[in-house]
Amino acid sequence: MQSSTDPAQVMTPYQNPMFKPLATLLNKPGYLSLAASFGLLSLLAPAAITLPTPPAQAGTCASNCGPKPVRFIPGQQVKVELVNRTAGMILLEEVQGSDPIPVSPTRSFRLTRRGGTVENSSVVFWDSLGNPLEVKVSQPSQDVLRIEVNPGFRAPGDRSIYLQDDGSVQIL
Domains and CATH numbers, the chain: 17-49 (no CATH), 79-171 (2.60.40)
Q: For each successive 10 residues of the chain (172 residues), what is the average pLDDT?
A: 56 55 54 51 52 61 71 86 95 80 93 63 91 95 93 92 88 90
The whole-model pTM stands at 0.59
Pairwise CA distance, residues 124 & 74, whole Å: 21
Pairwise CA distance, residues 40 & 27, whole Å: 18
